[in-house]
Amino acid sequence: MTVGGPAERGSFEDEPAGTVALDEVPEGVVLTVGGALDLALAPTLRRTVERAARLRPRLIVIDLTAVTFLASSGMAELVRARRQLRGEVGVRVVATGRLVLRPLQLTRLTDELDIHATLADALARG
Amino acid sequence: MSAMLDTADGPGPDAETLLTALAATVRGPDGRPVPVERVPLDGDAVAALCGAAADGPGVVVPDDDRLAARLPGATAAIVVADRAAGGGVALVARATVDHTHRVAAEAVAAATGGLHRALAGLRAEAAVIGALQSVGRRLTAQLDIDTLVQDATDAATTAVGAAFGAFFYNLVDRFGESYTLYTLSGVPREAFSRFPMPRNTEVFAPTFDGTGTVRSDDITSDRRFGHNAPYHGMPEGHLPVRSYLAVSVISPTSGQVLGGFFFGHPEPGRFTGRHEALAEGIAGYSAIALDNAQLYERERNLTRELSRSMLPEAPAVPGVELVTRYLPASTGHKIGGDWFDVVPLAAGATAYVIGDVVGHGVTAATVMGQVRTAIRSYALLGLAPSEVLRHVSALLDAFADPTFVTCFYAVHTPGDGLVYANAGHLPAVLRHADGTLEQLGEAMAQPLGVGSTFGERTAAFPPGTDLLLYTDGLVESRSRDLTEGIEWLLAAVVGLPRPITGEACDGLVATLTGGAHDDDIALVAVHRTA
């Protein structure tokens, strides 16, 4: 089930819009983010996280494997999701490759976020 | 309905029946049918044969002159128009005929006239709705005022069938003063450039005051016309206007008159109630679109002014050459939350600050202003860099809406080198006197608003050394990742002159971004001279 459609786009942007898809799996909810996770897509990610939280899953996994650009507005949403759902829902992030990992390292969000290399890994750990 | 060729479905079996029946009414003086030939006609031929009657019911007997001109040798003809196909058929006789066919054609025309008019009315109505809808969709999606007003003027002028149209609209400049601009359609700008702006005369007042549409079959004979000096009517050389239609454009949000559409035609009686309705419809869409465009423009200017007004003039600092830059995004309309600051402290020390508030627009700009002031305040209290960042982060944590601010903060005390702390910001670049580069403060701590503890480090900063602080707009874009961007920056910094000049900074930005940065950029270059 894909609910988070393409982000609103300004007419001045030529790049394809990023996407957020929501899928329910036995372990919880997986949000698959694709494209540029920037200011344009951040509100979509926030709404989709809120929608996922209303499903009352045990776990929400935000999969950034297909993200091509991680802006600070995108990182801010990851922190927001983690902090707002603390104590209610586990929030994990799948991040691999320097496009996504480097910004997370420079901001030391690697300390804050529960980061896994693969989706299987994120879903597996108790 | 069966007697009409002129249906949306085109000629059908009924048309064949009609043509056969009409052909049988073409008779000689003896009352017997004469041979009749069917001649297919295109739209021009129908118009040439029927003249003004071509717009009426679909069955016409052309008069003798038109017949002779178009169908030489014919003695009589009945034209059956098929408007859906844009043409028709002529039933043509070349023998002597009586007037029976004339009576029959008139009877058919009379019988179908009402139906024809109803159908024509419905079609026109559908065209009006279609035109309005497509104009509305186009206009309300447009945020650029210049494009918007020209498009609206062209669309409205075409829709009402005016010879020319003008749209006068009011804008408010940044000093709050109102001024009027206009666009034209159907006529070159020079045709109006010699005339003053229309004033609030009796003819124009209802439109500029927003008290109602003015439609006149002949404005020159209107009682409101011609009362005002110096022209008492239209100025010499003005395009001749008889038919006149003017509609106000009124803001749906403020109720203010934003402007007005004016349409003219040199012939009298050209504008109908339908044209009036169309013009009012387009004016309504134009009002919404203008409202949107102006609100958008205002937000953009406000944010730009806000972030500009909050950026400091870097003070002169003894013993250093200083270059600072703030560049708003060169593509798109995004205003960012980047800032820099240079704060003179006690005992000849100086704080150098660079940072980036997540997000764009007014929110980011106001948060930036608050964070900048907070950092300045804690800095002036003489707190250590790590303490300054810790206090500001705690302050941000108390904001209702979570924020995320990266910031590099360094204090230089002459004789004592640099002490710096970094809250998730990109590392600063130190160029030593021997030309080697060092990155300062990589991944030291989390951003302000996220982290709660911040480390502190020191670096020597002897004369001949350069310190470069920058924001991510310089090194990062959707087409280039951060790692690569930082490598490019380091490679470029090696070649910069000593001290780093303003031109060198501008050149650096141009080289790294290719002149099109889609994010804002802040830069501080500090060269230690003594």
Among B332, B424, B478, beta carbon nearest to A106: B424
Q: Convert the pLDDT of each residue in B230-244 to its tens digit.
A: 777 777 777 788 999
Answer for the pair B423, B446: CB distance below 8 angstroms, yes or no.
Answer: yes
Q: Taking CB atoms and an 8 Å cut-off, how many pairs form between chains A and B? A: 71
User: What's the whole-number average pLDDT of chain B?
Assistant: 86
Q: Is B522 on the interface with A (CB under 8 A)?
A: no
Q: Look at chain B and count its residues.
A: 530
pLDDT for res B333: 55
Hey, CA dihedral for B187, B192, B193, B194, is it positive or negative?
positive
Answer for the pair B51, B64: CB distance below 8 angstroms, yes or no.
Answer: no
Q: Convert the pLDDT of each residue in B445-475 to its tens digit.
A: 999 999 999 999 999 999 999 999 999 989 9
Annotate B101-133 with three-state secondary structure. Answer: HHHHHHHHHHHHHHHHHHHHHHHHHHHHHHHHH
Please state, in angstroms and rounded to a whole number, the distance separating the CA atoms of residues B241 and B245: 10
**Which has the closest alpha carbon to B109: B61, B62, B77, B76?**
B61
- Lowest average pLDDT, out of B116-120, B151-155, B356-360, goes to B116-120
Higher pLDDT, B132 or B348: B348
Chain B hits for A103, Cβ within 8 Å: 482
pLDDT for res B334: 62
**Which has the closest alpha carbon to A64: A27, A40, A38?**
A38
Answer for the pair B479, A103: CB distance below 8 angstroms, yes or no.
Answer: no
The HSE-up count of residue B502 (CA atoms within 13 Å, CB side) is 4
* Mean pLDDT computed over B375-404: 91
Q: Convert the pLDDT of each residue in B422-435 to its tens digit.
A: 999 999 999 999 99
Chain B hits for A10, Cβ within 8 Å: 332-333
Is the per-residue pLDDT at B523 higher than 60? yes
Which single residue is written with the structure tokens 């196909």? B85
Strands lying side by side in the sheet with B87-93:
B36-42, B87-93, B76-82, B59-60
* Mean pLDDT computed over B347-352: 94
Number of H helices and E strands in chain B, helices first, is 12, 19
* Mean pLDDT computed over A18-37: 95
What is the distance in angstroms between the Cα of A26 and the nearest Cα belonging to chain B? 31
pLDDT for res B239: 78
Q: Convert the pLDDT of each residue in B247-302 to its tens digit.
A: 999 998 888 899 999 999 999 999 998 899 889 999 999 999 988 888 888 777 77
> Residue B250 to residues B96, B140, B173, B466: CA-CA distances in angstroms?
65, 15, 19, 58
Among A12, A36, A72, beta carbon nearest to B358: A72
Q: Is B229 on the interface with A (CB under 8 A)?
A: no
The HSE-up count of residue B359 (CA atoms within 13 Å, CB side) is 17
pLDDT for res B330: 66
Q: Convert the pLDDT of each residue in A5-17 to its tens digit.
A: 444 433 334 556 7
Higher pLDDT, B258 or B307: B258
pLDDT for res B7: 45
Higher pLDDT, B382 or A17: B382
Structure tokens of B87?
Answer: 């043409």
**DSSP string across B462-527:** -TT-EEEEE-GGGT-BTTB-HHHHHHHHHHHHHT--SSPPHHHHHHHHHHHHTT--SS-EEEEEEE
Q: What's the pTM? A: 0.64
A19-124: CATH homologous superfamily?
A: STAS domain (3.30.750.24)
Number of H helices and E strands in chain A, helices first, is 5, 5
**What domains are defined for chain B?**
13-126 (no CATH), 142-221+237-304 (3.30.450.40), 310-528 (3.60.40.10)
ipTM for this model: 0.86
Strands lying side by side in the sheet with A28-37:
A19-25, A28-37, A59-70, A90-94, A115-116
pLDDT for res B57: 67
* Mean pLDDT computed over B64-81: 87
Per-domain boundaries in chain A:
19-124
Higher pLDDT, B310 or A40: A40
Interface test with B, best of A41, A108, A110, A113 (most B CBs within 10 A): A108
Q: What band does B5 get if pLDDT is binned at 50, 70 and 90?
A: very low
pLDDT for res A9: 39
Which residue on chain A is closest to B449 by alpha carbon? Answer: A76
User: What's the whole-number average pLDDT of chain A?
Assistant: 87
> Residue B438 to residues B154, B389, B406, B425, B460: CA-CA distances in angstroms?
60, 23, 20, 16, 11
Answer for the pair B88, B57: CB distance below 8 angstroms, yes or no.
Answer: no
Answer for the pair A65, A47: CB distance below 8 angstroms, yes or no.
Answer: no
Is the per-residue pLDDT at A93 higher than 80? yes
**Which has the closest alpha carbon to B335: B370, B315, B311, B354?**
B311
Please state, in angstroms and rounded to a whole number, the distance separating the CA atoms of residues B424 and B395: 17
* Mean pLDDT computed over B332-360: 87
Q: Convert the pLDDT of each residue in B474-510 to its tens digit.
A: 998 777 788 999 999 999 999 999 889 999 999 999 9
Q: Convert the pLDDT of each residue in B129-187 to its tens digit.
A: 777 888 888 888 888 888 888 888 998 898 888 999 999 988 877 677 777 888 898 88
CB contact under 8 A, B443 and A79: no
Q: What band does B335 get if pLDDT is binned at 50, 70 and 90?
A: low
